[in-house]
Amino acid sequence: MIAIQNVTKYFKKNHLRKDETDTRFQVLDNITFTIQDGEFVSFIGPSGCGKSTLLRMIAGLLPADGGRVLVDGQKVKGPGSDRMMVFQDYVLFPWMNVRKNISAGLKIRGENKESVDKKTDWAIGLVGLEGFEQVYPHQLSGGMKQRVAIARAIVMNPDILLMDEPFGALDSFTRINLQEELIRLWEKNHYTTCLVTHDCDEAVYLSDRIVVFTSSPARVQDIISVDLPRPRDRNRSEFIDLRNHILQLGRIQAEQQERQERCL
C-alpha cells in the first residue's frame, strides 16, 4: 500500500522579481490519499501541476518538504528496485543493446548469470521484443524503446510500477497498442501502478481510480473510481461520459489557471 499523507513540496524559483521576497514556490499542497496493493491509479491534471513531482517522491528521487510518503507502512527514504519507474523519454542506456538494457538492473542486483538470462528472456517475451535483443536503442522506434523501458522495469519484479507519461511522446496507434499491452501485463502480475498522464482517454481506459489534481500548487481536486468492466470499450457511453466528466474538470482548471496568469 502506498500512503501519501499531507505531502507538501516547494521548489526554488529560478527567476526572482524585484518585489518578491519568497524564494520558493509551492508545487504540492497537503496531498493525502492512499493506493491499495495491486491497484492501477492515474494522476491527471494540467501540465506542470506537480503530478510528476509526486511520482518522483514515491520513487524516492525527491524528498517531501512536509508530510510523508509511506510504502507498506515504511517511510520512503530513497529510491529502490521495489519501485521501478518508466519515463516519457525512455532513458535507455544508448551504449547497451536491448538485452543489456533490460538485464542491467539484475546484474546490479548481483543475480547469477543463469537467473539473469532466464528473467531477461521472460521480460523480452512479455513485451514482444524477441529478435531485437542485439539492437541498439537509436535503431528503435519510440514505441519499441518504451517496450524496452517497460521490460527493464518489470524484469526487476517490482511491487510498484511508476510511469511518468510513458506514452506521451508516441503516435496514437502505438499508444493504444501499448496501453492494451500494459493492461495485459498488469492483469497478469498485478503491480501497484501509478501512471501520470494528461490524456483523459488513457486514464479512463487503464485505471481503477483517477486522482484529479488542480494546478499551482497541486491539490487533490477529486478522486474518481472507474467501475467499468475490463477489457474496456472506449465507445461505451459510460466510458465516454466519464471521460467527458474529467475533461470538464480539467477545462475549468485550465480556465482558472489562464485567468490567474493573466492577473499576474
Partner 1 sequence: MNQKLVLFLRGCFSFAVLLAVWYAASNTGIFGRVDVDRGKLLLPDPGTMALELWENIKTGYLLYNIWVSLLRVLKGFCLAVVIGMPIGILMGMSETIRNFLHPIFRLFAPIPGAAWVPLAILWFGLGDSAAVFIITMGALSPIITNTLQGVMEVDEKLIQVLRIMDAGGWQIVKYCIIPSIIPYLVSGFRLGLGFAWRAVIAAELVGVPNGMGYVLNVGRNTANTAITLIVILSLGVIMMLMENLFFTPLECFTENWKSKE
List interacting residues with partner 1 (CB under 8 A). Answer: 59-61, 78-81, 83-85, 87, 89, 91, 93-96, 104-105, 108-109, 136-138, 156
* Contact (CB, 8 A) for 219 and 67: no
**Cα distances (angstroms) measured from residue 22 to each of 12, 50, 65, 261:** 9, 19, 16, 18
Cell triple for residue 219?
491539490
Pick the closer one to partner 1 by CB: 148 or 203: 148
- Least Å from the CB of residue 69 to partner 1: 15
Widest Cα–Cα separation across the chain: 63
Comparing CB distances to partner 1, the nearer of 89 and 180 is: 89
**Whole-number Å distance between alpha carbons of 15 and 169:** 29
Report yes or no: 108 and 41 within 8 Å, Cβ to Cβ. no
Nearer to partner 1, 85 or 195 (CB): 85
Nearest residue to 166 (alpha-carbon basis) of 126, 195, 200: 195
- Of 26 and 81, the one with the shorter C-beta distance to partner 1 is 81
